[in-house]
A and B are shown apart, each in its own frame.
Chain A
Amino acid sequence: MMVAEAKEMEVLTISALQHVAYCPRQFALIHVEQVWEENFFTAHGQVLHQRVDAGAAEQRGNVRSERAVSVYSTKLGLSGKLDLLEVDVSGENTRYFPVEYKRGKPKVEDWDRIQLCAQAMCLEEMRGIRITEGAMWYWQERKRQSVQIDQTLRDATVSAIKLAREILLSGRTPSPVKEKSRCKACSLNELCVPDAIRKDNSANYVEQMFHQGVHA
């Protein structure tokens, strides 16, 4: 199914998957409505990525590290960049190990791991390999967290891709997320006005306005 669709479909950027996983409405505001504030992307990670991008490939023992590696998948209709790809040639088969850099702390939720998984799936398609593990590097904690690229995560990733496509196709903006804590941390809050929309009181508001007149 994905194969046929991806051909006519615009290629999704992998980084957009974290938006849809975080909040489908945020994804729509950024990618459909394009109402993001200029500084949205700068505020979110660009700075960190510059640092990561700067490094060239380096070799340590049997492990070669490549930075800012471009990946794509025609099957999934995805393209993006990997922060770091470690290629281990010590074993019988070459092992590929993707690493994604994040500011902040490890997240409980899936959205960062989905991005990593999407990268892994692109690599699998490009190299004809299977990737079982990758890692997140969290800047604030300065340590790696291993991520299993298992079926559950793969399913979640494919769902996120499907949801993103549905939103792009329909051009409709979903309702705000239930988790208000996400809105607090979301820099689109001001343009999204989640509270005004969660409880749409507009009918009542307008009714009251017109109602003033009768009690003149």
Chain B
Amino acid sequence: MKKLLNTLYVTRQETYVHKERDTIVINSAGEKLAQFPALTISNILCFGQVSVSPPMMGYCGENGIGLVFYTEYGRFLARMIGKQTGNVLLRRTQYRLADDPEKANAIARVMVGAKIANARTVLMREIRNHGEHANISRAVEQLGYSLKSCQFSQSVPQTMGIEGDAAATYFSVFNGLIRGSRFQFNGRIRRPATDPVNALLSFIYSLITQECVSALMGVGLDPYVGFLHQDRPGRPSLALDLLEEFRASWADRFVLTLLNRRQLSPQAFVTEASGAVRLTDDTRKQVLVAFQERKQEEVVHPYLQEKVPYGLLPHCQALLLARHLRGDMEFYTPYLIK
């Protein structure tokens, strides 16, 4: 498999990222803070007041290094895209299938199926490790039905509906997976999050979405044209499609680990006057370090039967999706946890 390169997270404010020969240099107030060989970096994520020199941008574009901008609080802002690479035939196939309701649904329902199967596995594991729990068992059963109806879903809107129901079922018992009483989860709330758990979930989803965008672009697919998610200007629909199978399997489990290992306290979050909750600077840094560590951990890929680091899973899936679109494989084979 491909090598997992490093992601550079620039969280310090008022910094300047530029290139010196073959290295990436980070300056603050005219002082050199850090320097990395450019060849070892696959993504640069900038949070808040971080500026990047045009030559650095050009280098990123030419070498397929993802350059992504977030607000200081971790909300996605923009991604820099260099010149289009990869194969136009593959993208044409992607567009053709996305436009064909039946074929689009054939892929969409497998992706949603994987999302439900993984959510279900997470709940079943909870029962295995912490004993029977009526609500969770009921949710497992219900997700089983969702999974089955997903297999026979006739259209993308129907698949979407199944996905929505399954997500509601899963999140209705999610609070039961958080140990202790320090954090409460009362359902999924997006933009803006009004509790720490939602703030964390949104942050991690956003990080993995960007990993998916990079991976899709890397194999020559267009991250903005999806099968499940419909086109909307500026929305990386295909990356969001790909994210589905990583939500429970990767993002949620990662968030639960952070909370249940008591790595974060309620003081790690700030509530703004509006009621919006965000991570403090230190918390964000701490979460990014843990996220980076997780990416290095290896798992056996359930379809490729090969050991790969977590961080390469989006690449593996983008590759398998491309191979399916090219007609090499009859079905798209999503990432499933045991």
Question: Which one, A173, A191, A203, A210, contacts B151 given CB within 8 A?
Answer: A210
B302-338 contact mask (Cβ, 8 Å, vs A): 1 or 0? 1110000000000000011001101111111110100
Q: Report if A203-B89 is in contact (Cβ < 8 Å); known contacts: A210-B151, A213-B143.
A: no
> How many contacts between A and B, using CB within 8 angstroms?
93
- Tell yes or no: A34 within 8 A of B by CB: yes
Q: Evaluate contact between B145 and A213: CB separation under 8 angstroms.
A: yes
Judged by DSSP, the binding face of A is helix
Task: Mark contacts of A159-177 with chain B using CB atoms, 8 A cut-off: 1 yes-contact digit, 0 otherwise.
Answer: 0000000000001110100
From A197, A205, A206, B323 is in contact (CB under 8 Å) with A197
Given A34-B86, A196-B320, A209 and B330 touching (CB < 8 A)? no
**Does B329 lie within 8 Å of A212, measured CB to CB?**
no
Q: A202 and B333: CB pair below 8 A?
A: yes
Query: Are B148 and A214 interface neighbours, CB within 8 A?
Result: yes
Q: Is the CB of A35 within 8 A of B324?
A: no
User: Contact partner of A212 among B110, B120, B323, CB < 8 A?
Assistant: B120
Known pairs A175-B328, A202-B303, A206-B113. 5 more at Cβ < 8 A? A33-B220, A34-B87, A34-B220, A190-B1, A196-B320
User: Does A216 sit within 8 A of B, measured CB to CB?
Assistant: yes
**Complex: A200 Cα to B148 Cα, angstroms:** 23
Give the A-binding residues of B (Cβ under 8 A).
1-2, 86-87, 89-90, 110, 113-114, 116-117, 120, 140-141, 143-148, 150-151, 219-220, 302-304, 319-320, 323-324, 326-334, 336
Q: Does A32 interact with chain B (Cβ within 8 Å)?
A: yes
Q: Is the Cβ of B329 less than 8 Å from the Cβ of A202?
A: yes
* Contacting pair A206 B120 (CB below 8 A): no
Complex Cα distance A200/B303, Å? 10
Contacts of B332 in A (CB 8 A): 202, 206
A and B contact pairs by CB, cutoff 8 A, 11 listed:
A33-B90, A34-B86, A173-B327, A175-B328, A196-B303, A200-B330, A202-B331, A210-B151, A212-B120, A214-B148, A216-B141
CB–CB B333/A205 < 8 A: yes
In the complex, the answer to whether A209 meets B117 with C-beta atoms within 8 Å is yes
Q: Which residues of B contact A57 (CB under 8 A)?
A: none
- Kindly list the 7 A-B residue pairs having the minimum CB-CB distance in the complex, ordered from nearest: A216-B144, A213-B147, A202-B331, A210-B151, A213-B144, A213-B148, A202-B329
Name the interface residues of A37-67: CB closer than 8 Å to any CB of B.
none
Point out the residues of chain B lying under 8 angstroms from A190, CB to CB. Answer: 1-2
- CB pair A206 B331 closer than 8 Å: yes
- Decide if A32 touches B89 in the complex (CB within 8 Å): yes
Residues of A with C-beta under 8 A to B89 = 32-33, 171
Answer yes or no: A193 CB below 8 A from chain B CBs: yes
Q: Which residues of A contact B2 (CB under 8 A)?
A: 190
Interface size in chain A (residues, C-beta < 8 A): 27
B145→A196 contact, CB < 8 A: no
Q: Assess A212 versus B117: contact at CB under 8 Å? Given A33-B90, A35-B219, A202-B333.
A: yes
- For residue A205, which residues in chain B have a CB less than 8 angstroms away from its CB? 302-303, 331, 333
- For B1, give the chain A residue with the smallest CB separation: A190
Which single member of B113, B219, B323 contacts A209 (CB below 8 Å)? B113
Cβ of A202 and Cβ of B87 under 8 Å apart? Answer: no
CA–CA, A190 and B316, complex, Å? 10
Q: Is the CB of B329 within 8 A of A213?
A: no
The reply to whether A202 and B140 form a contact with Cβ atoms under 8 Å apart is no
Given A193-B319, A196-B304, A203-B330: A35 and B220 interface contact (C-beta under 8 Å): yes
Question: What residue of chain A has the Cβ atom nearest to residue B62's Cβ?
Answer: A38
Residues on A with beta carbons closer than 8 Å to the beta carbon of B141: 216
Contact B87 A196 (CB under 8 A): no
- A86 CB, min distance to chain B CBs, angstroms: 40
Least CB distance, A187 to chain B, in whole angstroms: 12
A202 and B330 contact, CB distance less than 8 A: yes
The one of B319, B328, B336 in contact with A173, judged by C-beta atoms closer than 8 angstroms, is B328
Q: For B302, give the chain A residue with the smallest CB separation.
A: A205
User: Contact at A210–B144, with CB atoms within 8 Å?
Assistant: no
Identity of the chain A residue whose Cβ is nearest the Cβ of B85 in the assembled complex: A34
Q: Establish whether residues B146 and A213, one from each chain, have CB atoms under 8 Å apart when the complex forms.
A: yes
Question: Which residues of chain B have C-beta atoms less than 8 A from A209's C-beta?
Answer: 110, 113-114, 117, 147, 334, 336
